[in-house]
Amino acid sequence: MRDLTLEVVNGVAILSINRPSARNALALQTMGELDQALDTVRHSSARVLVIRGAGDQAFCAGGDLKELEHLRSEADAVAMAHRMRATLDRIPQMAIPVIAGLNGDALGGGAELALACDFRIAAAHSRIGFAQISLGLMPAWGASERLSSLVGRGRALSMLLTGQTMQAAEALQLGLLEIVVPSAMFDQRLHEVARGIAAAPQAAVAGIKSSVNAVRPHRNPELAAETVDAFARTWADPAHWKAVEKMERQRREKQ
């Protein structure tokens, strides 16, 4: 794989987004590789999967707008969004637990990826936020439903409509993260948790995840079509591309 690395050691699969120059943002190839990697893990000896970013600055900065800017039509946006939403919906369906390891910032689509995982362990310096609104967009990959389930309707609306970026400690208090550890201890703690799960009886682990999913499903495929269509309209809207141009201008001015 070009954009991801995957290793399975002693029942622990570590899947890393390895695009540090783009803050581990997701290009179309990255999205495809993520789906392929889930297949590989499903057929491996892994008993737990950790998804993280390479380095210590970014878990995932969302979709790579430089790579995706050629997708201008609603039809292109629909195809991309359906593809990635279906990939993220596979995560809660996996028999093994999937941990999001936030080694750094999880923003926009990166926050959607983190939410799709079963729970989240974050380094203290990391941040999480749904910045789509600043680009004239709405979440397309299931974040609205997952976020509402995690933090409640009012908080979800507040986070999505303001685009607020939260420090890890605040996100922990709001129920968006489950574990926050000092940055220097992040790798150690992440591997301790993953190894502990991998060492537990496999039938018990699978049964716990299945029973929790039965009470509170972490995917709502029946809502996908309406959400994706609404996202595609915002993606193709000139207001979105004006916001992208403004963001790029501001980034260049800071350099």
pLDDT tens, residue by residue, 23-77: 999 999 999 999 999 999 999 999 999 999 999 999 999 999 888 988 999 999 9
Q: What is the mean pLDDT of residues 156-183?
A: 97
What's residue 241's pLDDT? 92
Q: Is residue 189 part of a domain?
A: yes
Q: Is residue 240 part of a domain?
A: no
What's residue 66's pLDDT? 84
Alpha carbon 63 to chain centroid distance? 10
52 by Cβ neighbours in 10 Å (0-12 / 13-18 / 19+) ranks as buried
Nearest to 247 by CA among 135, 156, 161: 135
pLDDT tens, residue by residue, 188-224: 999 999 999 999 999 999 999 999 999 988 889 899 9
Q: Who contacts 24 (Cβ-Cβ below 8 Å, separation ≥6)? A: 17, 18, 53, 54, 55, 58, 59, 60, 61, 104, 110
C-alpha to C-alpha distance for 44 and 236, rounded to whole angstroms: 40
Q: Is residue 40 part of a domain?
A: yes
What's residue 216's pLDDT? 87
Put simply, whether the predicted model's pTM sits higher than 0.85 gets the answer: yes
What's residue 85's pLDDT? 97
Structural domain tally of the chain?
1
Q: What is the mean pLDDT of residues 226-243?
A: 95
Range of the domain at 64: 4-202
Q: Is residue 214 part of a domain?
A: no
Q: Is residue 49 part of a domain?
A: yes
CATH number at residue 186: 3.90.226.10
